[in-house]
Structure 1
Amino acid sequence: MALRPPPSSTAMRAFVTVARLGSTARAAGVVNLTQSAVSKQILSLEHHLGTVLFERNPVGLKLTEAGAIYLPYAEAALEQMERGAMRLAERVAIARPIRLHMVAIAGERWLMERFPVFAEAHPGVDVQFTNYVSENETEEPDIEINHGTPPWPGKEAHYLFGRDVALVAAPELLERMSGFRRAADIQKMTLLQHYQMPAFWAEFTEAHGLRGAVPAHTVRYGYYSVIIRAAVAGLGVALAPRCYVAEELASGALVNPLDIGFTSVTGCWLTRRLDQPSRPGLDAFIAWLRTEAAAFDAATRAA
């Protein structure tokens, strides 16, 4: 005997809804069909099954014995189809690459050495890293890691690290400059400044009672990695987030004279658009980033 093809999901949904509401008119608005179309779906299902599913009377529709038997199976079938569709949607969401736009130093000094742990735990999550989006790029990043100060309109923001800023210099430079005995001595130094962080100097002078002071010379760079190398080479002193120079401070390539620094209003933040829908892989990645950043920030402050 040949197996019958399964009934359409539209017919089963119409049947379940009519069974619940007892009326094709009321069911029509729920399943987004006309009353006539609902009646036709019910008749089609009855023809398919070879039995009458409802008793029709002036008060409404009531399940027959056959309809009562079939109802839980129809409900279970619809539920399974919905679950299957949800699982497929989740799979697509996880498989879609996550575009992370970030400042280069955050990747160099923090993320990349830790990322293999996340990748191993979430092999199905594809993360694409970039620190520049070209003018021809059509896709916006899913999340961003940038230096700045909240709020960011239209975005949720989570602080990561970087507000603890230290004055750093090569030991050889300080020796050539006859040492560093007080904060005001910075005025005889060359300052290595990140062009996006000009406020660091104002924050430093305010924190140490030097308002109005100026360094002997200022050289601006576009990348912290270059500033750090320039400082190690003895080209000047730098005001840098302590977390980015932790390795050089630990090795002695740079020193933090008199433990001079300040807490900046600027830090490294993770941002995400408020209108972005939830995605399993992305949500897991954001949670992992925040946990790792909190541990990194705490370790840097304790060092």
Structure 2
Amino acid sequence: MELSEIEAFVTIHRAGGFTRAAELLHLSQPAVSRRIELLERELGAPLFERLSSGIRLTEAGLAFLPYAQQVLAGISDGRTAVHALEEEEQGTITFALVGTLASTKLTTHLQAFRETYPRIRLRLRTARSDEVSTLVQQGDAHLGLRYFADPRPDIHSLFAINEPLLVISAAHSRFGTSEPTEPAALLGVPWVTFPRSSGSSGEPFARLLERQLVRHELDTAERIVIDSLTAQKRLIEADFGVGLLPASSIEEELHLGTVRVLPIAALQTSVPVMIIHRRQAYLSRAVRLLPAMFSSQSSTS
């Protein structure tokens, strides 16, 4: 089994087809097809189904994919290790983060890092928390910034900051008093929330809200379950209910005046924001410097 065959397999999957993969690999399409044929022959099973609408992985392909990705990620780590011997504080760090976090004080930390280490280039990618972890796990990002610790055994999570969760309603809501200060003011008011199912990226937020509602005897309230933060905000703006959302995610809506923060301190809480990396990844000095910067900045803020 050749590395070039594994690279072709993963590239086809990511690109969604042989033609685009050939372009990315700077090869002819027959050359890419030949590599897959050799790989399938060695594995003894087809890896792709050819459909009229494109391709998709077979069961064998799905089983082989995570191992192939780990091989490529390991090779990438090896290259990084060799390059780091030449220039410890130079190179590129790919940093994946939840998009709303770019509007928090974490941006100040990134700016401080760039000014302190001008020879290190930061490449930023935004995604949901679960997608951030996948990018890190596959080796597409050296580091990630997400809500809550990742439970996967091959991912290491390091605390960065706490993100406030605020109770919000429509700017001119029909629910409750104009300035409610006690949880009881929201008795019977619907809550817009994430699904509690284990497959939902918002499950930790849903569980946290449930604990707050139970603690303050509001757990009989209706739940409007939406697996999209953007859709939740639109429903709250339309006064379908109230929500408990990250402060960074509602900055634009507060600026526009479409929502308001309800001053109910007992319901407000926070969630941890974590820096993550693969446990077995080689972390160059440049990559190690970024979490260290976050840690030092957080301890002094």
Query: Aligning the two structures, in what range does the TM-score lie when normalised by the shorter sequence?
Result: 0.5 to 0.7
Corresponding residue for residue 6 of structure 2? none
Q: Is the 8 A contact 1:190 1:235 kept in 2?
A: yes
Query: Is structure 2 residue 157 aligned with structure 1 residue 162?
Result: no
Query: Structure 1, residues 43-73: CA drift from partner, whole Å, max 9, x if none?
Result: xxxxxxxxxxxxxxxxxxxxxxxxxxxxxxx
Query: Is structure 2 residue 210 aligned with structure 1 residue 202?
Result: yes
1:23-34 mapped onto 2 (5 Å cutoff): none
For residue 264 of structure 2, the aligned residue among 258, 273, 286 is: 258
Q: Is the 8 A contact 2:193 2:232 kept in 1?
A: yes
- The 1:235–1:113 alpha-carbon spacing in structure 2 relative to 1, beyond 3 Å, is farther
1:191 CA drift (Å): 2.2
**What is the TM-score of this pair, normalised by structure 2?**
0.54
- The 1:205–1:194 alpha-carbon spacing in structure 2 relative to 1, beyond 3 Å, is same
Unaligned 5+ runs, structure 1: 1-85, 299-303
Query: Structure 1, residues 192-231: CA drift from partner, whole Å, max 9, x if none?
Result: 3245122133111133134x4223x5152523x6645654
1:250 CA drift (Å): 9.7
Corresponding residue for residue 9 of structure 1? none
Q: Is the 8 A contact 2:189 2:221 kept in 1?
A: no
Corresponding residue for residue 104 of structure 2? 109
Query: Is structure 2 residue 186 aligned with structure 1 residue 186?
Result: yes
For residue 213 of structure 1, the aligned residue among 207, 216, 220 is: 220
Q: Is the 8 A contact 1:146 1:268 kept in 2?
A: yes
Query: Structure 1, residues 4-27: CA drift from partner, whole Å, max 9, x if none?
Result: xxxxxxxxxxxxxxxxxxxxxxxx
- The 1:142–1:118 alpha-carbon spacing in structure 2 relative to 1, beyond 3 Å, is same
1:1-303 mapped onto 2 (5 Å cutoff): 89-92=84-87, 94-112=89-107, 114-132=109-127, 139-149=139-149, 152-162=152-162, 164-173=164-173, 176-179=174-177, 180=180, 182-195=182-195, 196=202, 197-210=205-218, 212-215=219-222, 217-223=223-229, 227-228=232-233, 231=236, 234-242=239-247, 244-245=249-250, 254-263=260-269, 266-294=271-299
Corresponding residue for residue 24 of structure 2? none
Q: Whole-Å Cα distance in 2 between the matches of residues 189 and 261 of structure 1? A: 14
Specify the structure having the higher radius of gyration (Cα): 1
The code of the aligned residue for 1:183 comes to P
Q: Is the 8 A contact 1:167 1:261 kept in 2?
A: yes
- The 1:162–1:207 alpha-carbon spacing in structure 2 relative to 1, beyond 3 Å, is farther
- The 1:90–1:258 alpha-carbon spacing in structure 2 relative to 1, beyond 3 Å, is same
The code of the aligned residue for 1:128 comes to R
- The 1:165–1:236 alpha-carbon spacing in structure 2 relative to 1, beyond 3 Å, is same
SS state of the match for residue 120, structure 2?
coil
- The 1:165–1:192 alpha-carbon spacing in structure 2 relative to 1, beyond 3 Å, is same
Q: Is the 8 A contact 2:190 2:241 kept in 1?
A: yes
1:119 CA drift (Å): 1.5
Q: Whole-Å Cα distance in 2 between the matches of residues 111 and 208 of structure 1? A: 32
Identical pairs, percent: 15
Q: Whole-Å Cα distance in 2 between the matches of residues 152 and 119 of structure 1? A: 30
Unaligned 5+ runs, structure 2: 1-80, 196-201
1:125 CA drift (Å): 0.9
Q: Is the 8 A contact 2:155 2:276 kept in 1?
A: yes
Q: Whole-Å Cα distance in 1 between the matches of residues 135 and 251 of structure 2? A: 37
Q: Is the 8 A contact 2:94 2:141 kept in 1?
A: yes
The code of the aligned residue for 2:295 comes to R
* Matched positions, count: 205
Query: Structure 1, residues 153-209: CA drift from partner, whole Å, max 9, x if none?
Result: 233322223364332224421xx2241464244343342324512213311113313
SS state of the match for residue 105, structure 1?
helix
Q: Which sits farther off after the overlay, 197-206 or 176-185?
A: 176-185
The code of the aligned residue for 2:93 comes to I
